Amino acid sequence: MDSINYVTVDVFAGERFCGNQLAVIPDARGLSDTQMQQIAAEFRYSEVTFVLPPEDPANTARVRIYTPTMEIPFAGHPNVGTAFVLGGQTDVFGKAFGDVLRFEEKAGIVEAALLRDDGRVAGASILAPQPLSVGRQIDSDTVARCASISAGEIRTETHAPVIASVGLPFAFAEVSDLETLARACPNTAAFAEADRRFSREGEQFALFLYTRLPDTPWHLRARMFAPLDNVIEDPATGSASGALGALLASLQPASDVDIDITVEQGVEMGRRSLIELNVHKSDGLVRSVRMAGRCVAVMRGNLSL
């Protein structure tokens, strides 16, 4: 194999050059693990996806997701963007498909539903592959050092800073206002210390900061930093948004709620993104988390190997 085709898309965006960049290798057959990691490092996007035939023919494809430094079990914008790319094809590995695609991933099966405008694929929604899991709390001083803000600017009325996941773990902290969020800047040395204290083997400490807009409390502004993974800042993080939505729904006093949440991210980077969430909670437990967004195709090309 001398070369391989790729497609890039901007995910969680309605216009080009916004949202989160993603490279998709629609047919990754023949690539080794080492080559996949090298390709992800070459693109230097937050993630690159590699599409392979499914192990179970009942599913659409097996999807592997790489950051510039490691393979990860699940992520939001790579699934939305991969569904968008495959949805524009007539088949996937010779098999026709409908508007629901099923991806085999390390975190489990990810179901993606295509979104259409006048019959044209415009984006996708995905269901989180795992239920909400809540891990260790993190002291405000640690979060403040990581984000170069003061501990007093971290709000703890709803929840203390905490690690949570619906397939990929993040540390979550609410900050006092938009000005504090805009001023946050990652401190790599503090991240390395937090990683030693709070991350499990095979994971890296990543921090998702958010604040609520005063007049619309279910419209959140957010930023995500993961400098240990060579992602200084991510313009849209579906997996983190989904986990945060599940966490906030779990803390609602009602045992049965259905919440629509908008997460606006990437504004400070000049790559505004909109992630639409629906979280369903019944009998006191979060039962499903759906993440949706639009996509725009950017480039198609041929990668020499």
> Under a CB-based contact definition with an 8 Å cutoff, are residues 99 and 119 in contact?
no
Whose CA is closest to 271, among 46, 7, 43? 46
The whole-angstrom separation of Cα 211 and Cα 223 is 9
Confirm whether 193 is a catalytic residue.
no
- Read off the tokens for 34: 């080492």
Strand partners, 231: 226
Strand partners, 170: 164
Please name the residues in contact with 127: beta carbons below 8 A apart, sequence gap of 6 or more.
110, 111, 288, 289, 290
Query: Of the residues 15, 42, 47, 174, which is catalytic?
Result: 47
Whose CA is closest to 44, among 73, 14, 21, 27? 21
Whose CA is closest to 40, among 232, 227, 230, 235? 230
Query: Helices H, strands E: what count in the chain?
Result: 6, 18
Could you list the active site residues?
47
